[in-house]
Every structure is written in C-alpha cells, then in structure tokens.
Chains A and B, each alone.
Chain A
Amino acid sequence: MEKEFNFAIFFCQRLDPEQDVNRRALEKELGSRIKFFTLPCSGRIESLHLMRALEAGADKVYLVTCPVGACRYKEGNTRAKKRVEFARKLIEEIGLEPERFELIHASSPFPNTIDDIARMLISREKGLTQSPLNARETKEAARNTP
C-alpha cells in the first residue's frame, strides 16, 4: 500500500450501502491521506468537486460509478463521465496530468465494499507520482526544517 500519496475517492452510495462502516478501517490506516465522498448518484459530481479535492492536496482523485447501463437514474454515470472529462481538460490547461482524475465504472467482477474498492484502486497506482502541488509543499517544508 502506498502510504506517501493522498487519495480522494468519490463514489455512488449504491456501490456499498454499508460504506460508512466499511471505510473506517482504511481511514484509520491511512488517516488524512484518504478521503471518501459518498454521492447519491455519481451524476451528482461536479467538476468543481474534483478540482477542490486536488487543490486540497490529493495526488489522485477517483470517481467510482455504477456499471454502464445500471445507473438507477439512467444517465447519471454517463453525465459523470463528461464532467470528469471537463475537469481533466481544465487541469491539463494548467500543466497538471489529466490522469490525476480517473473515472471507474464498476464492472463485473468488482469488489463489494468500499474498503475493497479503495484498496484495489490504490494498489494499482504503481506509477503514481506526487502531485506537483504537493511536491512543492514538501520541498518548501524540507527547506524550512532546521
């Protein structure tokens, strides 16, 4: 498990109805390095949510949606994809890697709990680098440390 990176995970509440319990172990393990944001539907995501998560210190921001065709509001996860794309273009304009925002459609087989989902996502990130926003903070902190 990568402990030096910060993750923000937005997800549809239908993916894990017991998410408020199931996420506690990982929150205890990673502390402030992981933040979960439940959505009534992934279609509720706004590009601003993703931007603010990155601005607040996340190195990687995920949006996990129900499988394609299985959104209870029919088009929520389709709209979510467009908003993630919009946000990716916005950060690309300022020189940040668009891959820092990633949309995941749940597809079979898929973990049943948010804990397993999060662990699966984090374990995939072998090539993840620290966000340039956080890298600069780290350098400044190191410079200021006596």
Chain B
Amino acid sequence: MITAERKPLPEIKESISPYKKLLIVGCGTCVAECASGGEKEVALLASALRMDAKKEGRRVEIREITLDRQCVYEFIDQLTALIDQCDAILSLGCGAGVQAIAEIFPKIHIVPALNTTFIGQTREAGLWVENCRACGDCKLDRFADVCPITRCAKSLFNGPCGGSKGGYCEVDPETPCAWHLIVTRLEESNRLDKLGSVQPPANWSKKEGKGPRKIVREDQRN
C-alpha cells in the first residue's frame, strides 16, 4: 500500500485560506489503512478546521466525503454532484489521488493535505514500514523475499557491507540489516546456494529517466 502522513496544519491552513466553501475528500484504501486519509481522518480534520475558523471568526463551510478510491474515475465521479457547491477540494488522498481528481475536474483547485511517503506494509497496528521502491524489475525471489533496494540503506545486491552490528544497520541502528535477514532466511530454508551467483546491477531505466511510467492492457480496455 501507499503510505502518507498529514501535512502540518499551518501548511494546510495557508493553502485553503482563500476559500470559503471547502470539500474535504478522503480515500478508503491505502491512506485509510495508514490512518492518514480515511473517513475518520477526514472527520478529524474537518472538525479541527471548523473549530479553527470559528476561533478566528472566519466563516467557512466544510463538507466531507470519502471515496472508496481516489485514483479511479468511477469513484471520483461521485464528486460531480458536489463540485459546484465548493470553491476548492482538500484531498486526503495520495499524490496519485490528488492528480486523478484534478484531471477530472481541472477548473477547481485541488489542495493536497497529505505528504505521500512510501510503498509499505502494516507491520503492526500503528507501524508502517517501507518495503518496496517500485523499481519495475522485481528480484525478490533471489533475495529470500527481502528487497535489498528498499531495505538495505546502501541498496547492495551482493552481500552485506560488513558494517552491521547485532543484525542492525550501521546507517540506521533501528533498522534490521537487510542482508542479515536475507542470509538468515536462506540459511534456515537451506537455500544459501542462491547467493552463489553474482547479481548484475539493476536496470534502473525501468524506474527512472523516462518520465512517468505506464502500463497498458488492451484486454482490460473498453
């Protein structure tokens, strides 16, 4: 899932300051899971902004809606009936959601309320960790399903740097050393022979250098 964090409130306030009728739009998928942009977070932000406006003697009309997904047209279409009733949209979606809404409704200002951070997993309640950098050339099977690009601070492909202490990374001592995890897992599953071959450098052109990527599936198109 994509994770995000809410922007500081002063930054959000400054962005929405010119507007009197605001529609706060949440997303019920990734950002709901990481407790930054779901229905609950929409309600919390709306309540805070209403109280802030009242405290300062400003009149602001705030409406709330949470779409199942903010990155899919069929869900964004639900906003059509509400667009004329607001001056701006405050989006609690990830960057993809903000831009998707803006494509459908280009004349209205869409303000992002979140900073999109990384692709990751829910390790436990309240803890989300990055584990994928979307390199476009997944080799997880060669590394015991531990991504060296993401989880090794130095993105090493052919063994540890030797700097780890007690199984923790020398760059960030709170992070487990990815290569310690890889070797341990391969050892425990009798697959150490996987480390016998040298991994060539990644083809970074699959990730960078060509602008925004896209996937086309003709069998899925109308």
Contact = CB atoms under 8 A, between A and B. Distances in A.
A121 interface: no
A122 interface: no
Given A46-B40, A94-B9, A55 B47 contact: yes
A91 interface: yes
Given A91-B51, A95-B55, A133-B51, A48 B9 contact: no
B50 interface: yes
Interface string B80-118: 000000000000000000000000000000000000000
A41 interface: no
Contacts of A90: 44, 48
Contact of B40 (A48, A55, A93, A132): A48
B54 interface: yes
A93 B43 contact: no
Interface string B22-49: 0000000000000000001001100111
Contacts of A93: 8-10, 48
Report the contact-size class of chain B (Cβ under 8 Å from the partner): 10 to 19
A136 B54 contact: yes
A132 to B, nearest CB: 5
Interface in B6-30: 8-10
B47 A48 contact: yes
Interface string B44-70: 100111111011010000000000000
* Most chain B C-beta atoms within 10 Å of own C-beta, residue among A93, A94, A96, A136: A94
B55 A132 contact: yes
**Binding site secondary structure of chain B:** helix
Report the contact-size class of chain A (Cβ under 8 Å from the partner): 10 to 19
B51 A54 contact: yes
A94 B47 CA distance: 11
A28 interface: no
B40 A51 contact: no
A132 B9 CA distance: 19
A52 interface: yes
A21 B10 CA distance: 45
A95 B44 contact: no
13 contacts: A48-B47, A51-B44, A51-B48, A51-B51, A55-B50, A55-B51, A94-B49, A94-B51, A94-B55, A96-B51, A132-B55, A133-B51, A136-B55
The 9 closest A-B pairs by CB, nearest first: A94-B52, A51-B47, A93-B9, A132-B55, A133-B54, A55-B47, A48-B43, A94-B48, A55-B51
Given A90-B44, A94-B52, 13 more contacts: A46-B40, A51-B44, A55-B47, A55-B50, A91-B48, A93-B8, A93-B48, A94-B9, A94-B48, A94-B55, A132-B55, A133-B51, A136-B57
